[in-house]
């Protein structure tokens, strides 16, 4: 069998498959279905400084080959994540976990990252900079190189764990933003977050979800994600985690060829709870089919 292990920011993963934040809870929910220690790791539910109920319902809409969501970062807040959620996870997951952090001001990012950084269970901190900057007119931090760099510098100053900046695809030049994060000290980049989408109910002539617009994810966005991963991976020297519509072992290989060191699986988990398990178990077959002996060798190997 081929070698599936990869290195992500200095930490060895048994395989490159990582359930994406917001699609895998805090892990222990899926541990009731299968041994989640078979995963490379996973990124837990987006965590903010304060508890958040999230957006009003309805906040999910189905689309052909995808879905739109506007959950609104519902979570119990960083204090309870540390005191309640991580102890539950420790009972069923013995690997370093990826913490996903969101914020609405630089101060919030700093506070939450500094708290999470002290947790022994956490191996990496994935910083979602797609949140609206409440001090900047609602524009997301990740829409400009300056805003992205500001958050990166601020959280790097208070952390010791590898910082992975999660980028939004809703920009005109994702490469310049990725490079700004690298220059500001980021240890890795993950992309893409959801595209902005909308559905309208023909009978009521109103948006399907209460928030009107939401994050579009699922297999329909995979080609966009591959393109952006390729562009960023060839522009930076730090590791890239690819995500966006990944739903098969073949998709994982394609993302890695584009330049991803590891691959996150998102919406597929909401359709099939065993999606990541199935992908990991199928990887050896796909590796043999395409003559791959070591997954690490194919990173960025597109001709």
92 is catalytic: no
Contact partners, residue 228, CB within 8 Å, separation at least 6: 169, 174, 191, 192, 244
The DSSP annotation for the chain comes to: --B--EEETTEEESSSEEEPTTSSTTSHHHHTTS-GGGSS--BPPPB-SS-B--SPSP-EEEETTEEEE-----B--HHHIIIIIHHHHHTT--S-EEEEE--SSHHHHHHHHHHHHT-TTEEEEEEE--SB-TTTTT-BGGGSHHHHHHHHHHHHTT--SPEEEEPPS-SS-HHHHHHHHHHTT-SEEEE--PEEE--EETTTTEESSTTS-EEEESGGGHHHHHHHHHHHHTT-SS-EEE-SS--SHHHHHHHHHHT-SEEEE-HHHHH-TTHHHHHHHHHHHHHHHTT-SBGGGGTT---
Active-site pick, 92, 113, 119, 131: 131
Catalytic residues: 131
């Amino acid at each position: 069998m081929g070698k599936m292990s990869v290195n992500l920011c200095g930490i060895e993963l048994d395989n490159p498959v990582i359930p994406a934040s917001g699609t895998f809870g805090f892990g222990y929910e899926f541990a009731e279905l299968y041994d989640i220690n078979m995963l490379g790791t996973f990124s837990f539910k987006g965590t903010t400084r304060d508890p958040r109920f999230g957006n009003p319902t309805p906040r999910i809409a189905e689309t052909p080959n995808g879905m739109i969501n506007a959950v609104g970062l519902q979570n119990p807040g960083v204090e309870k994540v540390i005191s309640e959620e991580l102890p539950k996870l420790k009972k069923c997951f013995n690997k370093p976990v990826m913490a996903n952090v969101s914020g609405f001001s630089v101060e919030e990012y700093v506070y939450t990252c500094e708290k999470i950084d002290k947790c022994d269970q956490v191996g990496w901190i994935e910083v979602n900079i797609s949140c609206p900057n409440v001090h900047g007119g609602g524009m997301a931090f990740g829409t400009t190189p300056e805003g992205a760099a500001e958050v990166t510098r601020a959280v790097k100053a208070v952390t010791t764990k590898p910082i992975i900046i999660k980028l939004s695809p809703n920009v005109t030049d994702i490469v310049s933003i990725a490079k700004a994060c690298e220059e500001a000290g980021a240890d890795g980049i993950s992309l893409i977050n959801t595209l902005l989408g909308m559905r309208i109910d023909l009978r009521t002539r109103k948006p399907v979800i209460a928030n009107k617009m939401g994050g579009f994810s699922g297999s329909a966005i995979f080609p966009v994600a591959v393109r952006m991963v390729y562009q960023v991976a060839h522009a930076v020297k730090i590791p890239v985690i690819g995500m966006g519509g990944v739903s098969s072992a073949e998709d994982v290989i394609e993302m890695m060829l584009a330049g991803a060191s590891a691959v996150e699986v998102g919406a597929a988990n909401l359709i099939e709870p065993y999606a990541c398990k199935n992908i990991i178990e199928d990887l050896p077959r796909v590796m043999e089919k395409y003559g791959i002996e070591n997954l690490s060798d194919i990173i960025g190997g597109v001709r």
